[in-house]
Amino acid sequence: MDLILASASPRRRELMGYFGLPFAIVPAAGPETPPAGADAAHTAEALALAKAREVAGTHPGAVVIGADTVVEVDGIILGKPKDEADARRMLRLLSGREHRVYTGLAVICGGRTESCAECTRVHFRPMTEAEIDDYIATGEPMDKAGAYGYQGRAGQYIRGIEGDFFNVVGLPLCRLGLMLAEIGVKLH
């Protein structure tokens, strides 16, 4: 049974490798259009489903995994920043506060589809304007939901989390492992 990750994310590729199973990367190419009026959990899940369905449509019989991560604070959904000004806005919003990271997961195998959204609470310490500027200058925030990567330089600004660390990185391994086992993928 072929296993496909419908994502171009290098972080997801690395995390998927932790299962020790052979898998292929086939990124979904369609637009990431969030459903109108959906909250963060439903947005992440819907985007993950769209990616998985797109790739499953061209790879029948494979186990296809879709994932999408969004950050939510005060009911505002933060995806990837459009530019440095947008990254600055996001980091200011997160500074000194708690927010939630949602990763939607979808697993499709044949006619079976499983999907969910995993949530982790993240606590940022206050960041100075100079810290925000220095962090943006690294370029690291530009391809990450909420404009930060916990596993990178932004780790120094995070006081702690409640939930799955890997969820914040982009692929909640515990939840995904349970979903794969449920559809019959042998993990060990």
| Domain architecture of the chain: domains with CATH | 3-182 (3.90.950.10)
Could you give the residue numbers annotated as active site?
68
The pTM is what?
Answer: 0.93
Q: How many CB atoms lie within 10 A of CB 185?
A: 18
What single-letter DSSP state applies at residue 14? H
Task: Count CA atoms within 13 Å of residue 96 on its CB side.
Answer: 6
Percent of the chain residues past pLDDT 90, beyond the cut: 89
Percent of the chain residues past pLDDT 70, beyond the cut: 100
Q: What is the pLDDT of residue 2?
A: 93
* Residue 1 reports pLDDT greater than 80: no
Q: Report the pLDDT averaged over residues 137-152.
A: 94
146 conformational bin, left if phi > 0, alpha if psi -120 to 50, beta if neither = left
* Residue 130 reports pLDDT greater than 90: yes
